[in-house]
Amino acid sequence: MELSVSQRVLSGIITSKDEDRYWYAKQHLEAESFSHYDKLIFEIIDRLFRATGKVPSFSSVSEALPYLESAIDTQFSIREIYLSLEQAEHQDEEQFRFAVFQRTQEKRAEVLSETANNVMEILAHGKKISNEELYGIDDARQYNESQLAYLDRFSREKLPEGDIREDVSEMMDMFGKGPIKRIATGFDRLDHLTGGGVGYGELWFLAAYTNEGKSFISANMAYNMCIAGHNVVYITNETGREIIMARIINRHARNPKFGHASGLLYDELFNEGKPELYESYKEIVEDFHTNKQYGRLYVVQIEEGDTVSTIRSKLEAYQKNFEIGAVFIDELALVKAGGNRKSEREDLAEVVQSTRALANTFNGGKKIPIICPWQVSRDAYKEALANNGEYGSESLGNTAEAERRAAVIVTFFRRLDAPNRLKCKITKNRSGRRGDFELAADYATSYVGPVAGPADTNSNFSLSGLNHG
């Protein structure tokens, strides 16, 4: 008989009796990727493989069927189809993998079509889906987002593969460069300890307590990358886009070419608009606008409750217009997973997992670095206060997934004896060194950078006065 794409996938597993093919199919597909009898057969293969460690033969399936609580006519149909699949023409590896790819594409198209139809019904007169009555724009939007999150599962086919023993030129190119392409953060000590900065496919967390300047640190890092010529997408759902823009321009004012060694005060530029600073401000804006050596710094404001799928869709659209070098998400805890979860902790855990997957699969598997400010708990901050500003990796206590999925975690603690200094520590570095370093922080001029001199213990900065980050 003529096999459908789904049946070619199943036949490719059954005829080969190859456990690698089973694992390959499991990596890219799930039972819901199939329909009716094909779904039941995939579930049976999965169940018997987990029990025996082998791809089941027709005889073992036939013997197991009476114990699977299926109707007699269903058992008969499964036996008939399974036998025909076992007797089908053998597929080589390329044919099998292409069938898997085709099925993922078919499933994506099916889900997308069903989603579009359901969204229209929800908007028009409401629809009951999974025992839940959905009606109106908000329900339609939430349903659409959850379906897009589901579709993300089928993007894994894009990931690179191959025999690394054959990739001689690639292995030689890695000498002295490292296996991962990296982008410097502009913080020299951090770049040194991490082997050159944030790596493609890596998820970084910049962890600190509230009002310690997490957003300032990430904005300065994004600025440094932009000035170095990289295209950066800065996604914010907590701080307004215009505030981020003001901080970046305020930070640019400190560029030595403008002659303001100590920078310009944020309040004097934006809140007071001092006339004597207008020409300087115009020069700074013009340079930031016209200098072709700089990369893009694309600031995107999303809504609280938007999902990782929303972010992925936006990034894929931007990637068509310019090559993205790095992505910042501020703040990840306000992003939602999509679909229904049992608790906020579970929702956040899935957001972290999805963000890690996004970093590792974006742009056809070429990957992207993602950097996220992360707020530590009050208890973790109290422990750091009692421990000379030392945080541990377990400080990201909102979810264990944050510590588990991160490639690098950097903690920042604002010193009480010198409030214009940040005590920084790499508490986790999956592929490099850990270590301590310090940064100078001048929030009045939106600057975070290298420490130039001794700590200013008489600084005007105070924890209560920090109102921008």
Sorted by where each begins, the domain ranges of the chain are 5-93, 108-158, 173-449
For residue 47, is pLDDT > 80?
A: yes
What pLDDT is stored for residue 121 in this prediction?
Answer: 93
Predicted TM-score (pTM) of this structure: 0.67
Per-residue three-class SS string for the chain = CCCCHHHHHHHHHHHHCCHHHHHHHHHHCCHHHCCHHHHHHHHHHHHHHHHHCCCCCHHHHHHHHHHCCCCHHHHHHHHHHHHHHHCCCCCCHHHHHHHHHHHHHHHHHHHHHHHHHHHHHHHHCCEEECCEEECHHHHHHHHHHHHHHHHHHHHHHHCCCCCHHHCHHHHHHCCCCCCCCEECCCCHHHHHHCCCCEECCCEEEEEECCCCCHHHHHHHHHHHHHHCCCCEEEEECCCCHHHHHHHHHHHHCCCHHHCCCCCCCHHHHHHCCCHHHHHHHHHHHHHHHHCCCCCCEEEEECCCCCEHHHHHHHHHHHHCCCCCCEEEEECHHHCECCCCCCCHHHHHHHHHHHHHHHHHHHHHHCCCCEEEEEECCHHHHHHHHHCCCCCCHHHCCCCHHHHHHCCEEEEEEECCCCCCEEEEEEEEECCCCCEEEEEEEEHHHCEEECCCCCCCCCCCCCCCCCCCC
Q: Give residue 194's pLDDT band: very low, low, confident or very high (50, 70, 90).
A: very high
For residue 161, is pLDDT > 80?
A: no
- Is the peptide bond prior to 331 cis by the omega test (within 30 degrees of 0)? yes
> 79 CB contacts (<8 Å, ≥6 apart)?
58, 61, 62, 65
Over residues 315-332, the mean pLDDT reads 91
What pLDDT is stored for residue 395 in this prediction?
Answer: 63
Lowest-confidence segment of 68-72, 189-193, 235-239, 417-421 by average pLDDT:
68-72
Highest-pLDDT range among 325-329, 425-429, 430-434: 325-329
More confident call, 152 vs 430: 430
The Cα-based distances of 252 to 224, 267, 379 in angstroms read 10, 15, 36
More confident call, 378 vs 278: 278
Over residues 425-449, the mean pLDDT reads 90
Over residues 412-421, the mean pLDDT reads 89
Lowest-confidence segment of 152-161, 263-272, 431-440 by average pLDDT:
152-161
What pLDDT is stored for residue 467 in this prediction?
Answer: 35
More confident call, 230 vs 173: 230
What pLDDT is stored for residue 454 in this prediction?
Answer: 46
For residue 157, is pLDDT > 60?
A: no
Report the half-sphere exposure of 186 (CA within 13 A, side-chain side): 17
| φ, ψ of residue 406 in degrees (nearest 5) | -70, 140
Lowest-confidence segment of 82-86, 121-125, 166-170, 390-394 by average pLDDT:
390-394
Over residues 406-433, the mean pLDDT reads 89
What pLDDT is stored for residue 152 in this prediction?
Answer: 67
Domain boundaries 173-449, corresponding CATH code: 3.40.50.300
| Angstrom distance (rounded) from CA 297 to CA 223 | 8
- The answer to whether residues 244 and 468 touch, using CB atoms and an 8 Å cutoff, is no
For residue 3, is pLDDT > 80?
A: yes
pLDDT tens, residue by residue, 239-252: 889 999 999 999 99
What pLDDT is stored for residue 368 in this prediction?
Answer: 94
Q: Give residue 439's pLDDT band: very low, low, confident or very high (50, 70, 90).
A: very high
Amino acid identity for residue 120 in this structure: M
Highest-pLDDT range among 66-75, 165-174, 248-257, 352-361: 248-257
Lowest-confidence segment of 11-25, 98-112, 152-166, 199-213 by average pLDDT:
152-166
| Angstrom distance (rounded) from CA 278 to CA 257 | 17
What pLDDT is stored for residue 334 in this prediction?
Answer: 86
Q: Give residue 297's pLDDT band: very low, low, confident or very high (50, 70, 90).
A: very high
pLDDT tens, residue by residue, 333-370: 888 876 555 577 777 888 888 898 889 888 877 899 99
Q: Give residue 158's pLDDT band: very low, low, confident or very high (50, 70, 90).
A: very low
What pLDDT is stored for residue 280 in this prediction?
Answer: 93
Over residues 215-231, the mean pLDDT reads 96
| Angstrom distance (rounded) from CA 29 to CA 113 | 19
Angle, helices 93-124 vs 136-152, to 10°: value is 170
